[in-house]
A and B are shown apart, each in its own frame.
Chain A
């Protein structure tokens, strides 16, 4: 075995270090790196344009935002960044190991394979083959190709390292080795475990959070730092500042980073303590980041003048790497603090996150790769840099574009987050972003222009650059100082330690604590939730085949890049979208679709908010419905119409809308008692001073043109651009006839502003009219004044007086019996004997406008088509019975019943819904909560005892920080009974404790039959 000195001689003697590197191979990799560094950021520019010009490239399914976004993100990670990294490994690994790369010729095949992976992967995503995992979207054949290539590169690197002739093991090699080991394991996690090992949605999210951050933190970061540690000392022509800082930085990163990924899903149903661990380790990442920054800036100490004033390739290499180092400092501090709960409340889902990802991925590590290429390119082409001026332009365009983009995006995040926290309408927050998005496009174009200049410069260098003189080339490669004879690597900087401890042990420790332990908590895999209306546990049903197909369409079209699917218990999201997310809702969600971004609103509670026909109009052209929308069109979800008739959904479209209507319904009928629609200012509206209503018209018109015109039309005639799709048709305001009024005087009386306010705020369930509680009270009042300008009736007629609603009497069995008797006598003809709206054959009735209408099915849940439009609230039902539904066959019954009789009828109608609600909950498994089975079950006594004494305490400790709703539901179960809670959501009598205990029997109460007919027949309409 040759001794060390002789080995050194071998390195420095006949085999000059320049011979260690296959320059042709490195050059080939870097040619492709130049190409991908130009192409994939340009895709990002196209994506950016779509934010402010949503019709741009919008007519082709391959080029929508949902298809191009993953091409850009994956392309930057694996094309623009990873291609130069892999190419540069063929340069730095042999030089740091003192021997040529193991099986160097593989590099040619691997380059071809890598390019095939990038091209085929990008095309697959554009074609809609999307796995549904952010940063893991490629389909499986592409994943196998990528993994195989990286594994073979890993073999080359590891064998070269373990057989190295250089006794020292430089920090760049620690990072290189760890990056490859981590990434090969992470790709198994992301491409095999996440999609194919059965697990609940919350387990999926917990592991996916780790996966996403491992791509960034355990591939991009260490691979990028390897380049920075290697090329900065060379480019700056200075020794690395501190080996000890290298140790601190590497080991702190290796220990803390694997835990942080859960911070992507703070405030989700992932166990609370796992979120806390992620927050703490995210903050502790400040340690390795500041260690690295100190080390790299320390390396440049005393060399700043030479670097800044330098005009050669090495100077530009150093400039770019130092710029990257600065961005690393800022971006990582941003990332650490972003993980803090209060910061995340405000900034998560917004462009602040995009600022952070661009800070770290592009501004730090892609720029580090750029700097490294400036250093290597002259050496592998044998020519001096063609133009220092172009390099300077590249640098300054990068500084200007990057700074503008990153600061702008961060500011956007705060602005949008603040708007939403203070209750702004979501679309308004999107509109507010548009000028900023234009700025981002300009900034991105600036950055991309810099890349094009780099590409030109490097191409021209290879083609027309001044050849390096014979004397120059060795000078560039010269070794600066002889190394002491006997210096070996300490145990913590040996390849085996890095491989086993940093690469594997820490990784598995984090995956177990942050990914696997949460998965064994029953809360994450039991398909049970607390019903929103009762608090009792009910079962969650699996998706139907149609809903499951719709879910695939949702994934394919990339809806999840813009729409999250979890409501957080912060910033008033439960008032905006509905009840806070529960773990059990996601049991069948693999891949989970929690998402990390809200360019559009959260969709986890969208089911039954809009009618199917509204979704059809919206998917056909979102701007027909919401003029300010930036959502793409999806005409390929519709059948071919040849321009005739209204387009109809094809199978994909039907499946998608079935999936959307399912979202948020697993927790039972929560919309009936949703505070944002039930508790409006309508009842307290002051009519005095409304003589100044004219002053509101300009504002009202502006509101109308932004919110209402898509359906009701510019002329208010109900013929907006989306109207052909809608069913029922939008209200024609020019007729001056309104359905829901509190005014007496017949079915055609004008409503009060208060009535219109309630309709606008609440929306009309089962129809395309959505609730507008998300816009300000002033806007709602203003648009009401504007609506009144469409019909002259508002000038000639006066609204009738509001009917008086007496206090609600007690709900008793007798009251129900009387109500049933009246219902059977008067209402059953149309609404059917059981209140299901089936008293008359369909198509028998029509409204004033000639549209077919059916009597309401009084048993249906909120938002179901055919049910009641404004809910089963007692006052609303009383009012509707008294005043009828304007423009429809439902007549006013004022005078036909005494107030007591009307209340009896209201109570009976409410009981129909309560019974139906209880039946649906029973169908969903509503039961008295049973003691859950013990986790430990074994017939072997000692095994059972060991489980109870050792495993159970661990489970209980972990469960302590489990999903919040699990505990909340347990409390609710003890306090209430479901029937009472449902009654309480409908009836004021319940508030006053005026409800007969018999009515609240768990089993359906049997309403007694009475014979007396009390209705004033003469006054029946």
Chain B
């Protein structure tokens, strides 16, 4: 969409971003263990790796399902 965001929408988007950032940095504590854990996120580069590997996997599975024909 190329239309400019209305003020209200902009505020909502900003709030969403802030919420997301807050969510990423949300920390949970396992008290009896003494461990803290961030909600965190999965880096974009890792998502790209995931997608590429899945695409390659599908290709390989289809291409090499059968053995090559031996003359």
Whether a CB of chain A sits under 8 angstroms from the CB of B7 is no
Report chain A residues within 8 Å CB of B65.
272-273, 276, 960-961
Whether a CB of chain A sits under 8 angstroms from the CB of B19 is no
Whether a CB of chain A sits under 8 angstroms from the CB of B1 is no
Q: Bound complex: CA of A961 vs CA of B67, how far in Å? A: 6
**Size band of the B side of the interface?**
20 to 34
Whether a CB of chain B sits under 8 angstroms from the CB of A442 is no
Instruction: Please tell me which one of the listed residues B28, B35, B49 contacts residue A286 in the complex, with CB atoms under 8 A apart.
Output: B49
Q: Bound complex: CA of A483 vs CA of B50, how far in Å? A: 33
Instruction: Please tell me which one of the listed residues B35, B56, B67 contacts residue A240 in the complex, with CB atoms under 8 A apart.
Output: B35
Q: Mark A240-281, 1 if CB is under 8 A from B, else 0.
A: 111111101000000000000000000000001100110111
Whether a CB of chain B sits under 8 angstroms from the CB of A107 is no
Whether a CB of chain B sits under 8 angstroms from the CB of A977 is no
Instruction: Tell me if B60 and A280 are in contact (CB < 8 A).
Output: yes
- B4 nearest CB across to chain A (Å): 32
Whether a CB of chain B sits under 8 angstroms from the CB of A284 is yes
* CB within 8 Å of B: which A209-246 residues: 230, 233-234, 239-246
Whether a CB of chain B sits under 8 angstroms from the CB of A477 is yes
Closest to A11 in B: B32
Q: Bound complex: CA of A555 vs CA of B49, how far in Å? A: 44
Closest to B31 in A: A479
Report chain A residues within 8 Å CB of B30.
96, 166, 168, 170, 483
* A244, A298, A968 — most chain B CB neighbours (10 Å): A244
Closest to A964 in B: B67
Q: Bound complex: CA of A483 vs CA of B42, how far in Å? A: 23
Instruction: Please tell me which one of the listed residues B28, B29, B50, B66 contacts residue A272 in the complex, with CB atoms under 8 A apart.
Output: B66
Instruction: Tell me if A98 and B32 are in contact (CB < 8 A).
Output: yes
- The answer to whether residues A968 and B42 also contact, given A483-B29, A960-B65 and a CB cut-off of 8 A, is no
Instruction: Tell me if B32 and A166 are in contact (CB < 8 A).
Output: yes
- The answer to whether residues A277 and B34 also contact, given A244-B41, A286-B53 and a CB cut-off of 8 A, is no
Q: Mark B27-71, 1 if CB is under 8 A from A, else 0.
A: 111111111111111110010011001101100110011110010
Instruction: Tell me if B31 and A239 are in contact (CB < 8 A).
Output: no
Report chain A residues within 8 Å CB of B29.
479-483
Q: Bound complex: CA of A318 vs CA of B43, how far in Å? A: 24
What DSSP secondary structure best describes chain B's contact surface? mixed
Q: Bound complex: CA of A491 vs CA of B29, how far in Å? A: 19
Whether a CB of chain B sits under 8 angstroms from the CB of A294 is yes
Whether a CB of chain B sits under 8 angstroms from the CB of A95 is yes
Whether a CB of chain B sits under 8 angstroms from the CB of A119 is no
- The answer to whether residues A17 and B37 also contact, given A280-B60, A961-B65, A961-B66 and a CB cut-off of 8 A, is no
Report chain B residues within 8 Å CB of A290.
46, 49
Closest to B50 in A: A287
Closest to A165 in B: B32
Closest to B27 in A: A239
Report chain B residues within 8 Å CB of A239.
27, 35-38
- The answer to whether residues A248 and B42 also contact, given A484-B28, A964-B67 and a CB cut-off of 8 A, is yes
Q: Bound complex: CA of A477 vs CA of B54, how far in Å? A: 43
Instruction: Tell me if A487 and B28 are in contact (CB < 8 A).
Output: yes
- The answer to whether residues A276 and B46 also contact, given A240-B38, A483-B31 and a CB cut-off of 8 A, is no
Instruction: Tell me if B36 and A240 are in contact (CB < 8 A).
Output: yes
Instruction: Tell me if B36 and A480 are in contact (CB < 8 A).
Output: yes
Report chain B residues within 8 Å CB of A283.
53, 56-57, 60
Instruction: Please tell me which one of the listed residues A92, A243, A286, A960 contacts residue B38 in the complex, with CB atoms under 8 A apart.
Output: A243
Report chain A residues within 8 Å CB of B56.
283
Q: Bound complex: CA of A245 vs CA of B28, how far in Å? A: 15
Whether a CB of chain B sits under 8 angstroms from the CB of A291 is yes
Q: Bound complex: CA of A8 vs CA of B30, how far in Å? A: 11
Q: Bound complex: CA of A747 vs CA of B46, how far in Å? A: 78
- B28 nearest CB across to chain A (Å): 6
Instruction: Tell me if A233 and B31 are in contact (CB < 8 A).
Output: no
Instruction: Tell me if A17 and B34 are in contact (CB < 8 A).
Output: yes
Report chain A residues within 8 Å CB of B31.
8, 11-12, 17, 98, 166, 479, 482-483
Closest to A484 in B: B28
- A526 nearest CB across to chain B (Å): 19
Instruction: Tell me if B32 and A17 are in contact (CB < 8 A).
Output: yes
- A963 nearest CB across to chain B (Å): 8
* B34, B53, B64, B66 — most chain A CB neighbours (10 Å): B34
Report chain A residues within 8 Å CB of B60.
276, 279-280, 283
* B29, B31, B65 — most chain A CB neighbours (10 Å): B31
Instruction: Tell me if B39 and A242 are in contact (CB < 8 A).
Output: yes
Instruction: Please tell me which one of the listed residues A240, A277, A279, A477 contacts residue B37 in the complex, with CB atoms under 8 A apart.
Output: A240
Whether a CB of chain B sits under 8 angstroms from the CB of A463 is no
Instruction: Tell me if B53 and A20 are in contact (CB < 8 A).
Output: no
Closest to A580 in B: B70
- The answer to whether residues A277 and B36 also contact, given A244-B42, A960-B66 and a CB cut-off of 8 A, is no
Instruction: Tell me if A480 and B34 are in contact (CB < 8 A).
Output: yes
Report chain A residues within 8 Å CB of B38.
239-243
Report chain A residues within 8 Å CB of B41.
242, 244-245
- A332 nearest CB across to chain B (Å): 13
- The answer to whether residues A95 and B32 also contact, given A242-B41, A279-B60 and a CB cut-off of 8 A, is yes
Instruction: Tell me if B49 and A481 are in contact (CB < 8 A).
Output: no
Closest to A238 in B: B36
Q: Mark A279-307, 1 if CB is under 8 A from B, else 0.
A: 11101101100110011001000000000
Q: Bound complex: CA of A276 vs CA of B60, how far in Å? A: 8
Instruction: Tell me if A294 and B43 are in contact (CB < 8 A).
Output: yes
- A2 nearest CB across to chain B (Å): 15
Instruction: Tell me if A479 and B67 are in contact (CB < 8 A).
Output: no
Instruction: Tell me if A273 and B66 are in contact (CB < 8 A).
Output: yes
Closest to B63 in A: A276
- B29 nearest CB across to chain A (Å): 4
Instruction: Tell me if B34 and A95 are in contact (CB < 8 A).
Output: yes
Report chain B residues within 8 Å CB of A480.
29, 34, 36
- B23 nearest CB across to chain A (Å): 10
Instruction: Tell me if A245 and B40 are in contact (CB < 8 A).
Output: yes
Instruction: Please tell me which one of the listed residues A17, A280, A484, A964 contacts residue B70 in the complex, with CB atoms under 8 A apart.
Output: A964
Whether a CB of chain B sits under 8 angstroms from the CB of A715 is no
Instruction: Tell me if B67 and A234 are in contact (CB < 8 A).
Output: no
Q: Bound complex: CA of A230 vs CA of B32, how far in Å? A: 12
Report chain B residues within 8 Å CB of A291.
42, 46
* CB within 8 Å of B: which A477-495 residues: 477-484, 487
- A440 nearest CB across to chain B (Å): 33
Q: Bound complex: CA of A706 vs CA of B57, how far in Å? A: 48
Instruction: Tell me if B33 and A230 are in contact (CB < 8 A).
Output: yes
Report chain A residues within 8 Å CB of B57.
280-281, 283-284
Closest to B38 in A: A239
Q: Bound complex: CA of A241 vs CA of B61, how far in Å? A: 34
- A401 nearest CB across to chain B (Å): 32
Instruction: Tell me if B36 and A481 are in contact (CB < 8 A).
Output: yes
Q: Bound complex: CA of A968 vs CA of B71, how far in Å? A: 9
Instruction: Please tell me which one of the listed residues A170, A276, A964 contacts residue B35 in the complex, with CB atoms under 8 A apart.
Output: A170
- B41 nearest CB across to chain A (Å): 6
Q: Bound complex: CA of A279 vs CA of B60, how far in Å? A: 9
- The answer to whether residues A243 and B36 also contact, given A284-B54, A480-B29, A483-B31 and a CB cut-off of 8 A, is no
Report chain B residues within 8 Å CB of A961.
65-67
Instruction: Please tell me which one of the listed residues B36, B39, B53, B61 contacts residue A287 in the complex, with CB atoms under 8 A apart.
Output: B53
Q: Bound complex: CA of A776 vs CA of B54, how far in Å? A: 46
Q: Bound complex: CA of A161 vs CA of B65, how far in Å? A: 42
Nearest 5 CB-CB pairings of A with B: A242-B40, A239-B36, A98-B32, A483-B29, A240-B37
A-B contact pairs, 15 of them (CB 8 A): A12-B31, A17-B32, A96-B30, A230-B35, A239-B27, A243-B40, A248-B46, A272-B64, A291-B46, A341-B64, A477-B34, A479-B31, A483-B29, A961-B67, A968-B70
18 further interface pairs, Cβ-Cβ under 8 Å (given A95-B32, A98-B31, A240-B36): A92-B33, A234-B34, A239-B36, A241-B38, A242-B42, A248-B42, A272-B64, A276-B64, A287-B50, A287-B53, A290-B46, A291-B42, A298-B40, A480-B36, A481-B27, A483-B29, A487-B28, A960-B65
